[in-house]
Amino acid sequence: MAQKPSIPKGTRDFSPAEMVRRNYIFDTIKEVFRLYGFQPIETPAMENLSTLMGKYGEEGDKLLFKILNSGDFISKVPQQMLDDKNSNKLTTKLSEKGLRYDLTVPFARYVVQNRSEISFPFKRYQIQPVWRADRPQKGRYREFYQCDVDVIGSNSLLNEVELVQIIDDVFKRLQINTVVKINNRKILAGIAEAIGEAERMIDITVAIDKLDKIGLEKVNAEMVAKGISETAVEKLQPILELEGSTQEKLDQIEQVIGETEVGAKGIAEMRTMFGYLENLELDTEVELDLTLARGLNYYTGAIFEVKSKDVQIGSICGGGRYDDLTGIFGMPDVSGVGVSFGAERIYDVLVQQDAFPSESLETTRALFVNFGEKEEAYCLPVLAKLRKAGINAEIFPESAKMKKQMTYANRKQIPFVILAGDNEIEAQKFTVKNMESGEQQLLNAEELIKILS
RNA sequence: GUGGUUGUAGUUCAGUUGGUUAGAACGCCGGAUUGUGGUUCCGGAGGUCGUGGGUUCAAAUCCCAUCAUCCACCCCA
């Protein structure tokens, strides 16, 4: 007990049964991505810390996993720094690499680094794990997979619309009822400007973000506590209490922020987007939600968040437009927009809804029971034929007791067991047992392939 | 980073006001059934009660520390 092996906090192993289900999710998502013309890329698990630092805000920097330099890293550090015991400063001396925190920043780095080979607009998808050093809790892990789709090098709002279609398509296929919440950073900036607190947009949005969680009064209190003036908070009230259709909401907001340049632009963008979306037959609900803020600071235009309607869990997909992410790497004026599907949360939703298709759980279709050397020799060529025909099949590798072999098939949920002993060999046939119904049939090799296909 | 929860068999948990040999269910292994699994019946293995210290004649039970865990906050997928 005392020395059971373990894995780091917030990480998980995936059993065969879990992998089958995870692959079902990944495959569904990939299929949809390809349908819209996106191409895959992969980037390394680790990036230079200089690439990662400062992109996710102060909070994000703290959550980066840093990789210790190799070799005798400590003796190169000046004694003075060791004595100071300032972790932040020391870190830059001890670590030059870190594990990726998301897929968007490495993607931006990739684009800048390979710009001469990429033809824009560049539509890529990327499905890989990311790592965050925060405390695990429900639906939160330290290692988890993101499934990103981004278009970079195009300002068109058509891209935003297409992303909503992708979201709709993916969750339709996965049979998850969703609501897509959309907001726009320009509107948020407009609001901040209109109430005379342009510099405090982040604080304001972070507070507004909690509206449905802690209520209006507490949100107001938090803003005041953060140093927002009371008159500004007062001006904000009509926006926090918005009601009605998207159209009506936009009209109301326009009255408050239409004067500001960013605000007007944000409103116009939203009008265009919702105009497109209205004419598409989407299953998912799409709504304008001003309380949607999203943490990552690099967003500049539309922001998205998708929630399950039936299962309460954090957002299962999110993203937005970032106008100048590549600028940090020396390639200005390239706009991108993308969303990220959270595979683990989608998994949790599907588990709770029991919505995994049963066919997807099968790995082996048929098992040959092993009776001994002579019988092995008889089965092997037919086994090869089955595989050639695309049927997943295996033979039990030793002539163990029947019970053991049957139990093996049962546990592995193999639907068919094939028996071939003296009688079958003599008749040049095989006995096939349907493990669910218990029925048995005596068939020749061709019939066998037919029934298993 | 802040606050809280819980650590007993492979798993989920029970364990009385501290009292002698720490239990159950499920799972696992074997047998009934040497060419038939999932059902049933019979039998068996498996725990230094998270770890270290303390109180006591006596600790799974009380106290302290430590580690782990889960949950909430911050933040986020």
DSSP per-residue letters across A284-315: SEEEE-TT---S-TT--SEEEEEEESSS--S-
Q: What mean pLDDT comes out for the span A129-137?
A: 90
What pLDDT was estimated at residue A212?
A: 74
A311 sits within 7 Å of strand B by its CB: no
Query: Which residue in the block uniquely carries the two structure tokens 């090799």?
Result: A445
Q: Report the pLDDT averaged over residues A285-289.
A: 91
Find and give the residue nearest to B68, measured CA to C1'.
A9
d(CA A19, CA A344): 12
Token pair, residue A183, equals: 């907001």
The confidence band for A349, taking pLDDT boundaries of 50, 70 and 90, is: confident
- Residue A449 pLDDT more than 60? yes
List, as residue ranges, the binding site of A for L-histidine: 102-104, 132, 146, 150, 294, 298-299
Own/partner pairs, A13-16, CB within 8 angstroms, 24+ separation: A16/A363
What is the mean predicted confidence (pLDDT) over A43-69? 90
CB hemisphere CA count around A148 (13 angstroms):
28
Query: A53-67, A91-105, A206-220: which has the minimum mean pLDDT?
Result: A206-220
Helices (H), ranges, A6-133: 16-35, 49-52, 57-62, 79-84, 87-94, 104-113
For the question of an ipTM over 0.90, the answer is: no
**Is the pLDDT confidence value at A179 over 50?**
yes
* pLDDT surpassing 80 at residue A85: no
Q: Which residues contact A87 (CB under 8 A, 6 or more apart)?
A: none
- Proximity of residue A100 CB to strand B below 7 A: no
Are A317 and A339 in contact, with CB atoms under 8 Å apart? yes
Please state, as a whole number, how many other Cβ atoms lie within 10 Å of the Cβ of residue A91.
Answer: 17
The C1' atom of B8 and the CA atom of A1 lie apart, in whole Å, by 11
pLDDT in tens, A240-274: 777 888 889 899 889 888 889 999 999 999 999 99
Give the distance, in angstroms, between residue A11 CA and nucleotide B9 C1'. 25
Instruction: Give the closest nucleotide to A340 (alpha carbon vs C1').
Output: B77
3-state DSSP call for residue A8?
coil
In the predicted model, is pLDDT for residue A295 greater than 70? Answer: no
CA distance A418 to A371: 11
| Nucleotide B45 C1' to residue A422 CA (A) | 38
Share of chain A above pLDDT 90, in %: 55
CB-strand contact A400/B, under 7 Å: no
Scanning every strand, the nucleotide with its C1' closest to A436's CA turns out to be B38
- Closest nt to residue A316, judged CA to C1': B77
Q: Is the CB of A407 under 7 A from strand B?
A: yes
Answer yes or no: is A213 CB < 7 A from strand B.
yes
* Helices A230-240 + A185-194 axis angle, to 10: 140
Our measurement of CA A2 to C1' B19, in angstroms, reads 27
Question: How far does the CA of A142 sit from the C1' of B23, in Å?
Answer: 38
A29: tokens are 């998502």
* A348 CB neighbours strand B below 7 A: no
**Known binding-site residue numbers of A:** 102-104, 132, 146, 150, 294, 298-299
Output the pLDDT for position A130.
94
Which one is predicted more confidently, A74 or A2?
A: A74
Is the CB of A60 less than 7 A from some atom of nucleic acid strand B?
A: yes
pLDDT attached to residue A1: 38
Whether the beta carbon of A423 falls within 7 A of nucleic chain B: the reply is: yes
A348's tokens: 């949790």
Write down which residues 182-211 in A have CB closer than 7 A to strand B.
206, 210
Give me the mean pLDDT over the A275-298 stretch: 86
The answer, yes or no, to whether residue A3 has pLDDT greater than 60, is: no
Question: Would the pLDDT of A359 be above 70?
Answer: no
- Which pLDDT score is estimated for A2? 38
Angle at which helix A261-278 crosses helix A185-194, to 10 degrees, equals: 150
Q: Which is more confident, A226 or A435?
A: A435
* pTM (predicted TM-score): 0.88
| pLDDT higher than 60, residue A37 | yes
Q: Which nucleotides of B are covered by protein (CB under 7 A)?
A: 1-3, 8-10, 28, 30-31, 33-38, 47-51, 68-77
